[in-house]
Amino acid sequence: MKGLRQIRGLAAIEMVFVLPILILILAALFEIGRMFIHYTTLNKSLQSGVRAALVEVYGTERLSDVASDDYIQTIVVYGSTISGADTILPGLSKSDVSIDKSVDDYLSVSASYDYTPVFSSSMPISGEPFSVTMTASSTMRTAP
């Protein structure tokens, strides 16, 4: 009977050593999944911004006929034409969105977004804020 108690105690000690590692793995998987969701949301909002810029313009051959830069930025940041609503991503602002009309017949919208992890918002050694910069862009042709 004494041997059975020792085995149970040994299992509890093993669990004390293994549990923090399992929690770290689960936290890492959660952060990676959350990062992919934010990146996908950023890509989809950029695609919506490019589409919204060109949807009201039929048969255009000039980039001057597309929607204004402010309109495109509002669509990308807020997901609608109403400025001041909740942003699609926390911390995303109109200044993070850039519009490029320099290439003939192509409208390109890009954004840079600083992703801040939930579990590790600051570096444990230095105490500096930790974030990952995500950049994405979407391009659409204006001429038929």
Query: 53 burial class (0-12, 13-18, 19+ CB within 10 angstroms)?
Result: buried
d(CA 65, CA 40): 29
Report pLDDT digits (tens) over 116-143.
888 766 556 666 677 889 999 999 887 7
pLDDT value at position 50?
92
Angle at the Cα of 83 from the Cα atoms of 77 and 84, rounded to 5 degrees: 95
Report pLDDT digits (tens) over 49-99.
999 888 766 665 566 678 888 999 999 999 888 877 789 999 899 999 999
pLDDT value at position 69?
87
Report pLDDT digits (tens) over 9-31.
777 888 889 998 998 899 889 98
d(CA 29, CA 21): 12
Extended beta strands in the chain, E state = 97-100, 106-115, 132-141
